[in-house]
A and B are shown apart, each in its own frame.
Chain A
């Protein structure tokens, strides 16, 4: 803090530079190299903090993944990570995240469309506030409230049973990948609504009117204007939702007590000390694998995002 304040105070001595800068149109200012350096200095505490508490741990996981127990270079950790139960957990995690994200994209999109077309102010702010709240819900409490609802002895389970429908006898289980995909909807759908509301509301009335006055039907409007406009943000949202469910740990852990074979759960078990001999750095390989999956998703996201911003000017 003190170092930072010094920097702030120091720059205060030269207010003229600031005024000069204000007159140069944004985006074309040419500053001296020393000024640039001084400006960059103010961001150091933030960058340093991220470096120590995010980059350092992440890098240490990646480098350790390539080392054996004695610190020598090896690929055996990855060899282990892409075989057997660990490989299966990667497949299961990706499957779960893919399906959960897909369902949430469809439902969330419909909900966002419904909300944007409603005239009712109360419904509108209720859904907006609700989405903001539920998108941040997750973790342990969510797992327990679903256990209370459709768990073995959940309220709805019992209600259905008394109506003659035993969902657990028909192959449903909350404590499975399917169950998780349902529970995840609780934060994925609101997230989808939050992401899609701005692009949907950016569809201007004039475009609809213009298409209509040119003789386009409602389905033609959606085919040629609506869907092409919304497709890039939908894809981007899918990636965000995928990543969100891929990294989720708390809900799955609380719901299944760590028995479900998903990557975060396996990694958590390795961290908690359930390590077999000869698997010292296996966890790091799993961690590196998780980062890789998320980064790949992020690259796709960035590519699509660039196209989206071009669409929605």
Chain B
């Protein structure tokens, strides 16, 4: 390892400093592409903001927002979505943390297979899942099928491609086997191991999975609307049929509220990955 280190360290550094050398694409190309693509993403946000403050005869008004906040349904649907989101996050963590840890400790060969299973929800479009839910769960007691509980139960599955990956990669990043063995040799049981050793070590993954799942729940429309639950996005569509500026204002709020936490976790994760790869190279 020591002999490789001198070679590796400078190459990683140069990779981040003058990586433009690697692809040799040139400055104009970079500027033009990034500016155009950037505009495509910024213009709708700016337009939405402008649109939502647009009064009669191009005047500035915040009435779209004040009217929204004064609507009881705004708060009740938001509350419903938050409740469903919290329930889903809870279920997700209870189901996935033990599973991911178990797979890494006891079934390491099956890791890829479980990752593939976690991607299965991508194969069945959520509209189709909803249809299946209606046909197969109609007979269930009303407390499950007739209440938003069914939403949480299904969202756990539908958000799986995001949540499983976040947890799996954070468990992958720690030396699970050594930690487990060290804990066991000190006499800790599995519960203690989870509580004091594993959970603190995969905190990042847990937070990431929770935010991704929660954001998914706040935005999910297909299942909720087809099962006739008026969650926040369903309310948003109803508003859109009556008052365009209110719907746009509401969309802007919804987008910002999901973007901020997502941006934070993306930044934190990418930075940690970068620092880890440098740390590995420095060893």
Contact = CB atoms under 8 A, between A and B. Distances in A.
A234 interface: no
A127 to B, nearest CB: 7
A148 interface: yes
Interface in B19-50: 19-25, 29-30, 33-34, 37, 40-41, 43-48, 50
B120 interface: yes
A107 B38 CA distance: 11
A149 B47 contact: yes
B3 interface: no
A8 B108 contact: no
B55 to A, nearest CB: 14
Contacts of B125: 246-247, 249, 264, 290-291, 294
Given A54-B157, A61-B128, A267-B127, A136 B222 contact: no
A287 B154 contact: no
Nearest to A55: B120
A220 interface: no
A249 B262 contact: no
Contacts of A226: 23
Interface string B55-76: 0000000000000000000000
B262 A133 contact: yes
Contact of B124 (A9, A54, A153, A284): A54
A147 B123 contact: no
A9 B132 CA distance: 37
Interface in A9-52: 9, 11-12, 15, 18-19, 22, 26-27, 39-40, 42-43, 45-47, 49-50
Interface residues on B, range: 35 or more
A39 B129 contact: no
Interface stretch (A76-84, A114-122, A165-173): A114-122
Interface residues of A, number: 101
A138 interface: yes
Q: Which of B11, B40, B131, B219 has the most chain A CB within a 10 Å cutoff?
A: B131
Given A11-B190, A145-B45, A60 B128 contact: no
A227 interface: no
Main secondary structure of the interface of A (DSSP, over half): helix
B107 interface: yes
B262 A132 contact: yes
B221 A250 contact: yes
B225 to A, nearest CB: 8
Contacts of A85: none
Given A43-B103, A107-B37, A119-B18, A22 B44 contact: no
A113 B226 contact: no
A123 B20 CA distance: 13
A291 B212 contact: no
A18 B193 CA distance: 15
Contacts of A132: 262-263, 265-266, 270
B106 A42 contact: yes
Interface string A181-205: 0000110010000000000100111
Contact of B130 (A39, A119, A123, A271): A271
Contacts of B17: 119
A146 interface: yes
Contact of B236 (A144, A146, A154): A144
A57 interface: yes
B98 interface: yes
Contacts of B220: 139, 250
B252 A145 contact: yes
A46 B99 CA distance: 7
A138 to B, nearest CB: 7
A218 B24 contact: yes
A125 B271 CA distance: 8
Given A113-B23, A139-B219, A139-B221, A56 B45 contact: no
Contact of B127 (A22, A129, A140, A247): A247
Given A129-B266, A142-B255, 16 more contacts: A8-B190, A11-B106, A42-B99, A42-B106, A114-B30, A117-B24, A127-B34, A132-B265, A132-B270, A141-B236, A144-B247, A145-B44, A148-B50, A155-B47, A185-B40, A204-B22
24 contacts: A8-B190, A19-B181, A39-B107, A42-B102, A50-B120, A58-B129, A116-B19, A118-B34, A132-B263, A133-B262, A136-B216, A137-B255, A140-B221, A140-B251, A145-B45, A156-B47, A189-B40, A203-B23, A208-B23, A246-B125, A249-B221, A264-B125, A264-B127, A287-B128
Interface of B: 11, 14-25, 29-30, 33-34, 37, 40-41, 43-48, 50-52, 94-96, 98-99, 102-103, 105-110, 114, 117, 120-137, 153-154, 156-157, 160, 162, 177, 180-181, 184-185, 189-191, 212, 215-216, 219-222, 225-226, 233, 236-237, 240-241, 244, 247-248, 250-252, 254-255, 258-259, 262-263, 265-267, 270-271
| List of 5 A-B pairs having minimum Cβ-Cβ separation, nearest first | A57-B132, A132-B266, A247-B125, A141-B251, A148-B51
